Structure 1
Amino acid sequence: MQRKRKGNGFPPVFTCFTERNGLKMHPGSCQGTDRGRDPEGFGMPANTVHAKGRRVYHPAGTIPDYQPVPSPGGEAGQEERDVMNDGDRSREPVAMSGSPARDTIDVRALDRKIWWRIIPFAVVLYVISILDRANIGFAALTMNADLGIDPYVFGIISGIFFVSYILFQVPASQLLAKTGARTWLTLTIVSWGVITILMSFAGTPLELGVLRFLLGAAEAGFSPGLILYLSFWFRRDGITRALAVFFAAIPLAMVIASPVSAFILSHSAWMGIAGWRWLFILEGAPAVLFGLLVLVVLPDLPENASWLTAEERAWLSVRVEGARVCTETRLSLPLRELAAVPRFSLLCAGSFLVGLFLTGLLFWIPQIIRNSGISRSVSDIALLVMLPYGISVIAMYGWSRHSDRKGERLRHVALPAALAGLFLVMLSLFPLTIAGFFLLSGAIIACYMAYAPFSALTVETFPPALRACGIALVSTAGSLGSFLGPVLIGLEGGRLAGSLTAALGILLAGIAFLLIRSEEPRESPDRDNGGTA
């Protein structure tokens, strides 16, 4: 029987170094791992301290010969020890590479600076993306009659966007990592803006279908590329909130699109041009303008941000992995390595189901409401569409903040997915009356609640070398569902069929169950502290 070691579980004579996320630290003096109190935001032990209570980080490659670091004395030293032990990140001492001096970084001020420089502009870009992707749903209220498009053909035209989206998504994300975010995003956004404007000139269903195919190719790298780009700037303890605000652009776009599109369709017949044609022109022009602004607003990496100080750039560059992703990403597709990543298949399956449901509704919900008989007024339909998407914006942000505070992803994905499945199974038992509309709204809100934690889980699942390809392939699975969703609803005549809705609800609940089952068991305190063998 071995005698249980005291303290941190390491013999007092030996001290070793480990490397994690580009930093080297002294695990021999760690007090265990607690992700809930992770001061850096990516899984480091909360109390990475020497025996005397002082925390020191060394950037990779700068580890000196180990010398015990004495605890600072006096009131200043006690204050520093209190701050470190309480996990307060407001002002954190940092050992900068190549300098013996200890610089002080105001982490909260840095986070606010990054937030306001990156997130609002990213949200505007994503709103424009969703508007140009989904405006065909509102245009169809008058366009289908003008071009002779039936529900089946409309489902094909809507869904063909995702054929090219799937084909070009992975290479587009790889090229973003290799060429830089500014250049690639500018080309992407300006291209889809021009194509959206060209859709106003379509005279036949075939011409409209070809332009939708080109629009999918242009937008292919935008969503996974911007998710990857945000991971270059936000640490683990803030990435979900950033993604929540970013993805809130999807329901926010529907809130904006509903009244704006209804107004354009009802009031614009300028120069003898139909309202649906003006819809494509007026909603495609902002993409061209904001695409050019990307060159001015978004730097490629923290190392290139002129609005950060040299100390802030150095501090942030060792806590995020943008540079590693850009240098280690390969232009080949490492399918075997990706398949070996835990939960890869579950992430793809979940992305497929959510894409099938949410994107199918994105294109069809105005017509679904009209076909159900709830209302046939364009203005009333716009108000009803706004309801679930407006609530989703608030629910997404609140649920994502909770995920960041808890430092947990799996359950924050599984619980709303199971709830959405329950709502859909109940919806399959009722016609789409007012009660059915509220069940449908509940399913929409629950799916959007899972959106940001799901994306954060995807980012955290893949190592840097596989991250660009991994995010793109999971997004590609969602795009495949996004293609089938509009087609399946079109085959049902623009209505939500009972069997389709029930099957989707059961599958979502099944994915939620499997995600919970995939959760790794937590280590016991005895094991963390080097208990008996």
Structure 2
Amino acid sequence: MNKPEQQDQVFAKCAVRLIPFLMLLYFTNYLDRVNVGFAALTMNHDLGFSPAVYGAAASIFFISYAMFQIPATLFVERLGHRRAIFLVMAAWGAISASTALVHEPYGFYAARFLLGVAEAGFFPGIILYLTFWFPREYRARFTAIFMTAIPLSSTFGGPLSGLLLGLDSLGGLRGWQWLFLIEGLPACALALVVLKFLPDGPAQASFLSDAEKQTIAARLAAERPAAPPSDWPGIFDLRVFLLGLVGTGINSAIFGTQLWMPLIVKSLGYSNLATGFIIAVPYMLGIGIMILVGRSSDRQGERAWHVAISLLIAAGGFVIAAATSNPYVIIAGLCTVVLGIVGHYGPYYTLASSFFAGRAAPASIAAVNLLSTGLGGFIGPNLIGLLKQWTGSYAAGMLALAVGLGISVTLVLTLRQVMAAKVATA
């Protein structure tokens, strides 16, 4: 199968079989990670949690997530994706559901810490998994489609969470407890499906013919750079370090927004259910943005400027929301933040998966995610919580996140120059 159109058909076949299922897994993963933002609408009052306590608990997830990022990703790569993802999902589903049992701050901190341990290997493991199936020229679009699970989780998760919060007193449980139970346990059920449905790689895929398997192997081998002799050189590469720092600013904004946006919107006078539907709107629109930006990035073969422009739009949204007390303008600003942020996913994670091949790839991808999601996820929610407690307003926190995005824009364009110089001297 040497003709380009025949190869396109092979990779499209893989995408149709794998991407929707991976999206479902990531939808469940992301819902379990950020549903605490909706639970906080009533849990904080019921348990007497201050903004600082909630911000710390929301952020502590990312400490363990960062600590276990590289070993967990290597574990996924060594054990095989099918068995490893089964174990990871079963663990995070049980831990997420058990958050319904917390009744004081330290129990809340422990539940969030353990959830970070359980989830650490999932996302970088899936990004690595996509490199086993798709050549670089296809990767941004399929990564972007896979990552539409993020806006989908908020599009459907917001209204669902608003409804679940209305189950107060049913069975003697509060609405936020039902939220954790009902949104956490499906991960345990899906873990069993992974064992049946997910092949470890193209060589194990029963839906591919031998010729199709050879086509995938040949295409991936043709673009594979010389692989370092061990797992670790990639984590010391300047490109990995810069991309991780870019992601720190991005993920500070992402998780600062996602974990506080329900509380910000409700503070404008909306009910729990209305808050869920309001938050769903920009994420629903963001699905199309993600796919369009991913396709544009692949078509032009360009990543850094696609990331930079997306981040500038998001930073502008924060400035708009922070500069006014008008609730409609605040919501419009936050919607702009979401639409800007979602555009970066496809090109950003394609950069992360393009630096290394072979044994260095798992540690390199995990190192980027460690810096970006681990450090950024800790900074963003904590920053908003502390600044809200100190100033009584969300404006200072939003401006701080806008500054972080501005720094990320500078760094990603610097990374572009570093990559160009490396190509020129190769």
TM above 0.5, one fold? Answer: yes
More helix by share: 2
- 1:338 is matched with 235
- Asked whether the 8 Å contact 1:174–1:330 carries over to 2, the reply is no
1:272-324, CA deviations, whole angstroms, 9 ceiling, x for partnerless residues? 211111111111111001111111111111111111111111221222269x9
Partner of 1:360: 256
CA shift at 1:419, angstroms?
2.8
Tell me the residue number matched to 2:307: 413
Kept after mapping to 1: 8 A contact 2:250/2:376 = yes
Q: Distance in 2 between matches of 1:441 and 1:254?
A: 12
Q: Distance in 2 between matches of 1:364 and 1:148?
A: 17
| Aligned residues of 1:422 and 1:509 also touching (Cα < 8 A) | no
Secondary structure of residue in 1 paired with 2:136:
coil
Alignment of 1:135-284 (within 5 A): 135-267=35-167, 269-284=169-184
Tell me by how many angstroms 1:503 deviates: 2.2
Distance 1:242 1:116 in 2: 10
Residue in structure 1 matched with residue 206 of structure 2 by the alignment: 306
Q: Select 1:487's aligned residue among 370, 382, 388.
A: 382
Structure 2 CA distance for aligned equivalents of residues 502 and 449 of structure 1: 16
Cα offset, 1:395, TM superposition = 0.2
Q: Which residue of 2 aligns with 1:89?
A: 4
Q: CA deviation at 1:328?
A: 7.3
Q: What is the rounded CA distance, in whole Å, between the counterparts of 1:394 and 1:195 in structure 2? A: 32
Q: Which amino acid in the other structure matches residue 352 of structure 1?
A: T
Which deviates more, 157-166 or 404-413? 404-413
**TM-score with structure 1 setting the length:** 0.73
Q: Which has the larger radius of gyration?
A: 1
Q: Structure 2: 5+ residue runs without aligned partners?
A: none
Structure 2: which amino acid aligns with 1:507? I
Q: Are residues 1:466 and 2:355 paired?
A: no
Instruction: Kindly provide the amino acid, as one letter, of the partner of residue 89 in structure 1.
Output: P
Between the aligned partners of 2:178 and 2:100, the Cα distance in structure 1 is: 7
The answer to whether residue 292 in structure 2 is matched with residue 401 in structure 1 is no
Offset of 1:411 from its aligned partner?
A: 2.0
Q: Which moved more, 1:377-386 or 1:357-366?
A: 377-386
Q: Check conservation: 1:119, 1:242, Cα contact below 8 A.
A: yes
- Quote how far apart the aligned CAs of 1:268 are: 5.3
Query: Post-superposition shift, 1:432?
Result: 6.1
Residues of 2 paired with 1:418 and 1:251: CA distance? 19
Aligned residue pairs total: 416
Distance in 2 between the 1:329 and 1:129 partners? 33
How far has the Cα of 1:347 moved from its partner? 0.4
**TM-score for the superposition, normalised by structure 2:** 0.91
Q: Gapped runs of 5+ residues in structure 1?
A: 1-39, 41-56, 58-87, 91-105, 525-533
Residue type at the aligned position of 1:338 = I
Distance 1:230-1:432 versus aligned 2 partners, 3 A rule: farther
Q: Which residue of 2 aligns with 1:19?
A: none
CA separation of 1:486 and 1:288: change in aligned 2, threshold 3 A: same
Aligned counterparts of 2:399 and 2:9: Cα–Cα separation in 1: 52
For 1:381, the aligned partner's letter is: T
Partner deviation per Cα, 1:37-81 (whole Å, 9 max, x = no partner): xxx9xxxxxxxxxxxxxxxx8xxxxxxxxxxxxxxxxxxxxxxxx
User: Mapping of 1:315-334 within 5 angstroms?
Assistant: 315-320=215-220, 330=230, 333-334=232-233
CA contact (8 A) 1:425 1:506 kept: no
Please report how far the alpha carbon of residue 458 of structure 1 lies from its aligned counterpart in structure 2 after TM superposition.
Answer: 1.2
| Percentage of identical aligned residues | 33
1:15 alignment counterpart: none
Deviation at 1:428, TM superposition (A): 4.0
Alignment check: 8 A CA contact 1:425 1:501 kept = no
Displacement of 1:398: 0.8
Q: Is contact 1:421–1:507 with CA below 8 Å preserved after alignment?
A: no
Deviation readout 1:215-246 (Å, 9 max, x if unpaired): 10000010111010011111122111111011
CA contact (8 A) 1:138 1:262 kept: yes
Tell me how far apart the structure 2 counterparts of residues 116 and 502 of structure 1 sit (CA, whole Å).
Answer: 37
SS in 2 for 1:408: coil
Kindly indicate whether residue 3 of structure 2 is the aligned counterpart of residue 107 of structure 1: no
* 1:112–1:513 CA distance, 2 compared to 1 (3 A): closer
1:402-432 deviations in whole A, cap 9, x for unaligned? 1112222222222222333343344443346
The answer for the alignment partner of 2:403 in structure 1 is 503
Between 488-497 and 241-250, the greater mean CA deviation after superposition: 488-497
1:119-156: per-residue Cα shift (whole Å, max 9, x none)? 01100000100111111111111111221111110011
Please say if 1:445 is aligned against 2:342.
no
Q: Mean alpha-carbon deviation: is it higher for 114-123 or for 439-448?
A: 439-448
- 1:377-420 Cα deviation digits (max 9, x unpaired): 11221121112211111100011111112222222222222333
Aligned residue number for residue 197 of structure 2? 297
